[in-house]
Structure 1
């Protein structure tokens, strides 16, 4: 079993074997998820591919034209001045 030590600041260095198995590299985020059935926490990578975001934003019912967008930008800019 792989183990690590918690520092006085609550930090832990994840052993290389675990980082490799999880596909983690420097700067990646991880999540701690409580498994209610076992009462234990699971460590999982918090990374998602761009394709996982597909479908989050719906297509507008009436897409605006470039002219409509330029007009809205100009109006917004004029109201700030």
Structure 2
């Protein structure tokens, strides 16, 4: 589930919750137990055509996914 908010004319804030059941029937917690991650990010306009995406992900059910992940994206969109 994702929730977004337009913080200003050029910036959008986002919060997302990802969760899934175990990947395999395994005694190892990392793949044999459910997992949940919280992702917090923002997208911002850099001029008329460029958009930057920033985010980080934290495992809220510990020992089931990477502890913290940082994401950076830069994309070009055709001006309208």
Using CA pairs below 8 Å that are at least 6 residues apart, which structure has the higher relative contact order?
A: 2
TM more than 0.5:
no
Instruction: Name the TM-score class by shorter chain.
Output: under 0.3
TM-score, structure 1 as length reference: 0.22
TM-score, structure 2 as length reference: 0.22
Q: Specify which structure has the higher proportion of strand.
A: 2
Q: Specify which structure has the higher proportion of helix.
A: 1
